[in-house]
Amino acid sequence: MVDNSNPSVSTAMQVVDSLSDIGRAMPFVAPAFILLKIIIDIEQRAQEVDAKCSDLVERITFMISHLPILEKIEIMPSTRQVIERMNEAIKSAAALIAAYRKQSRVARRLSISNREKFTQCAEAINICCHDLLMSLQIHQSTQLEILTRDVPIDDDDKAAQTFVEEHGGSVDAVMYDRELVKEFAQQQHLVMDDSVMEQLNQNIADSVQQNQQRFEGILQDNVKTAIADSLKSIAAEMHASEAEQRFKCVQCDKEFTNSSNGPKACSYHRAEYDSWSRSFPCCSTSHPCQFAAHRSKHHCDYPYGNFFPRSRGVLNYTDTNEEWASVEDTNLETDEVQKASVGQLYRWVSRGARVEENTLLITIGRVWYKYPYYFSTFTAKELEDITKSVRLSRRTLIFRTSADENEYALAEWILSISGKITGVRLTAKAATSPQPYVRVCPIDLASCTRSGEILTLSEGGMRSYTPASP
């Protein structure tokens, strides 16, 4: 299975195939072949060619292609040391490529410091390669520019850099701002969901280190046997441990993997099936009316049928949640209601199991496919991530039902001077009210609980009058 679309991988495969005899004869160079084989496997399964990965593959292939000379010379202890360092450098490169390829395409591009990691890796390989050429007494090579060139930057990386520059120049401010990340994903026609934000919050160095340990284990188990089996068992083992994670889509209930997902991979209805009228109220046909990317986690970026039984299961019962504060204003002419609330989620289903962590619940608008709505929960960990994002972006708005200044409901985070979330402000205003109704719920970030009395900042307009007695 030669990947013709990526010449650097095809060349690497040829080198591995033609040189594995040397690994068999000299087990101390075998790790280099095994690791290059691991890299080839990762690159073959990758969805697209990436200039930084190809560059590392080429450097490593170039270095390894000099090893046949080992068979003709007497091997000195200094040469063995160089080979050991070479094995380590290739292991670091394999670990980096594996971690990088695990990032989604959006996260990979916006993690602009990735390029530094590739540069460090390339430098380590270059130094090893120089030492190797010296100790093998190879003096000149026409391909030496491989070692002196810069790590390439491709169009997608450039697009990410330009995007960051256009938005203030701070990578952090973009990376932690969900709205900006979403905008970048849209601009690049890439899939955006909450896993992208999680990946951007994670440090790639951690997963590089995990990979190094994993590869160390594979090497220990395989150096003797794998060479004899022409590296085939390594590939099988890698596939088993790297088998792509399967997710279940919350919109269409189908299984998907990141590589099978795409901007139009999922089809679904905006509204849920109505068993009484035996139809979908969104489009009145049985064929899905919407197309988007599969999503593994529930979200309120846009309506989809499966969302509503879930939100209703919470909102229509009293044992599922406790309301801390709410605002509501009714338009006296149209009877349209603007509302928002904040509280604690106890369980997702009435009489079901209680959620394990303290969970904040924020609801804005009427949760129905025809209206703009927001229904989302937050654990302490999620609030901490949001704090980071809000502190950098100063984007405190959680959601607003309408841009109309006269009629809207909204919720926003309240920050302390040091940039910590200390509460949620709720606002509701109907066009028939002269003033909005505004309340503040103080929140303790660490415990994800209400931390004080609800403040009413503005009583707002004429809310529906309820007589004390009929």
Chain residues in the site for Zn ion (CB under 5 A):
249, 251-252, 266, 269, 280, 282-283, 289, 294
271 contact partners, CB below 8 Å, separation of at least 6: 280, 281, 282, 303, 305, 308, 369
Give 355's DSSP letter: E
Q: Residue 249 or residue 367: which is nearer to Zn ion going by CB?
A: 249
| Beta carbon nearer to Zn ion, 127 or 283 | 283
Closest approach of Cβ 266 to Zn ion, in Å? Answer: 3
Q: Which structure tokens are listed for 76? A: 């000195």
The answer to whether the CB of 331 falls within 8 A of the CB of 430 is yes
DSSP assigned state of 193: -
Closest CA to 145 of 52, 87, 62, 39: 62
List the structure tokens of 123: 């430098």
> What minimum distance in Å lies between the beta carbon of 108 and Zn ion?
23
Tell me the closest approach of the beta carbon of residue 47 to Zn ion, in angstroms.
18
Shortest Cβ 170–Zn ion spacing (Å): 34
Q: What's 279's DSSP letter?
A: B
Nearer to Zn ion, 295 or 391 (CB): 295
What are the distances in angstroms from CA 245 to CA 102, 158, 325? 10, 29, 40
Closest CB to Zn ion among residues 289, 462: 289
Backbone φ, ψ for residue 352 (5° rounding):
-80, -175
Interatomic CA distance for residues 341 and 314, integer angstroms: 13
Nearest approach, Cβ of 246 to Zn ion (angstroms)? 13
What residue type is assigned to position 332 of the chain?
L
Assess contact for 174 and 110: CB atoms under 8 A: yes
Is 357 in a helix, a strand, or coil? strand
Cα angle, residue 308 at apex, residues 306 and 310 outer, rounded to 5°: 80
- CA of 460: how far to CAs of 201, 363, 428, 431, 463, in Å? 39, 19, 8, 11, 8
Decide whether 59 or 269 has the Cβ nearer to Zn ion. Answer: 269
Instruction: Tell me if 320 sits within 8 A of 347, measured CB to CB.
Output: yes
Minimum separation from the CB atom of position 195 to Zn ion (A): 14
* Residue count (the chain): 470
The DSSP H or E segment spanning 142 is none
Q: Which is nearer to Zn ion, 269 or 391 (CB)?
A: 269
The least CB distance from residue 417 to Zn ion, in Å, is 43
Tell me how many helices (H) and strands (E) the chain has.
Answer: 15, 14
Min separation Cβ 278 and Zn ion, Å: 14
Distance separating alpha carbons of residues 15 and 24, to the nearest angstrom: 15
Report how far residue 175's alpha carbon sits from residue 107's, in angstroms, rounded to the nearest whole number.
8
Shortest reach from residue 313's CB to Zn ion, in Å: 21
The encoded tokens of residue 319 equal 């044992």
Q: Which is nearer to Zn ion, 251 or 387 (CB)?
A: 251
CB of 265 vs Zn ion, minimal distance in Å: 7
- Residue 10, burial from CB neighbour count under 10 angstroms (0-12, 13-18, 19+): middle
**Closest distance to Zn ion from the beta carbon of 269 (Å):** 3
Cβ-based nearer residue to Zn ion, 304 or 399: 304
Please give the structure tokens belonging to residue 186. Answer: 């849209």
Instruction: Between 267 and 331, name the residue whose CB sits nearer to Zn ion.
Output: 267
CB 155 within 8 Å of CB 113? no
Q: What whole-number distance in Å separates Cα of residue 218 and Cα of residue 229?
A: 14
Q: Which is nearer to Zn ion, 57 or 249 (CB)?
A: 249
Which of residues 290 and 311 has its CB atom nearest to Zn ion in the complex?
Answer: 290
Residue whose CB is less far from Zn ion, 125 or 282: 282
Please state the closest distance from residue 371 (CB atom) to Zn ion, in A. 16
